[in-house]
Amino acid sequence: MSESALGIVWIYPDLLSTYGDRGNMLVLAHRAERRGIAVEPMLVRSDEPLPATADIYLVGGGEDGPQALAAQRLTADGNLLRAVNQGAAVLAVCAGYQLLGTSFHAKGAQCPGLDLLDVTSDRTGTRVVGELSGDVDPRLGLPPLTGFENHGGRTRLGPGVAPLALVTAGFGNDGHTEGAWRGKILGSYAHGPVLARNPAIADLLLRWATGADSLAPLDDTWSDKLRAERLAAAGAA
Ligand code: GLN
pLDDT in tens, 167-221: 999 999 999 999 999 999 999 999 999 999 999 999 999 999 999 999 999 999 9
Ligand 1 atom, smallest distance to 64 CA: 1
21 CA → ligand 1 middle, Å: 13
- Cα distances (Å, whole numbers) of residue 108 to 111, 123, 152: 9, 9, 12
> Candidates 64, 104, 148: which one to mutate for ligand 1, based on the most atoms within 8 Å of Cβ?
64
Do 60 and 26 touch, CB atoms closer than 8 A?
A: no
Residue nearest to atom 5 of ligand 1 (CA): 95
Cα-to-chain-centroid distance, residue 143: 16
Per residue in 56-71, pLDDT (tens digit) is 999 999 999 999 999 9
Q: How many residues does the chain have?
A: 237
39 pLDDT tier (thresholds 50, 70, 90): very high
Do 61 and 27 touch, CB atoms closer than 8 A?
A: no
Is residue 111 among the annotated active site residues? Answer: no
pLDDT-above-90 percentage for the chain: 93
Per residue in 130-172, pLDDT (tens digit) is 999 999 999 999 999 999 999 999 999 999 999 999 999 999 9
Is residue 191 among the annotated active site residues? Answer: yes
- Cα distances (Å, whole numbers) of residue 87 to 55, 57, 81: 8, 11, 10
Strand intervals (E) in 12-118? 39-44, 56-59, 89-93, 103-106, 109-112
**68: alpha, beta or left? (left if phi > 0; alpha if psi -120 to 50):** alpha
Active-site residue among 94, 105, 111, 151? 94
> Does the bond joining 66 to the residue before it have cis omega, within 30 degrees of 0?
no
Q: Kindly report the average pLDDT of the chain as a whole number.
A: 96
**64: alpha, beta or left? (left if phi > 0; alpha if psi -120 to 50):** alpha
Reduce the DSSP state of residue 77 to 3 states and report it: helix
DSSP lists the bridge partners of residue 167 as 134
Q: Evaluate if residue 236 carries a pLDDT over 80.
A: no
74 CA → ligand 1 middle, Å: 17
Q: Which residues line ligand 1 (CB under 6 A)?
A: 18, 61-64, 67, 94-95, 150-153
63 CA → ligand 1 middle, Å: 6
Q: Evaluate if residue 229 carries a pLDDT over 80.
A: yes
Taken in order of first residue, the domains within the chain and their CATH numbers are 6-236 (3.40.50.880)
Ligand 1 atom, smallest distance to 16 CA: 8
- Gap between the Cα atoms of 227 and 52, Å rounded: 34
The verdict on pTM exceeding 0.85 is yes
Do 178 and 145 touch, CB atoms closer than 8 A?
A: yes
Q: Which residues contact 51 (CB under 8 A, 6 or more apart)?
A: 1, 7, 9, 42, 44, 79, 83
The pLDDT value recorded for residue 1 is 65
Burial 176-207 (b: 16+ CB within 10 A, else e): ebbbbbeebbbbbbbbbbbbbbbbbbbbbbbe
Residue nearest to atom 3 of ligand 1 (CA): 151
107 pLDDT tier (thresholds 50, 70, 90): confident
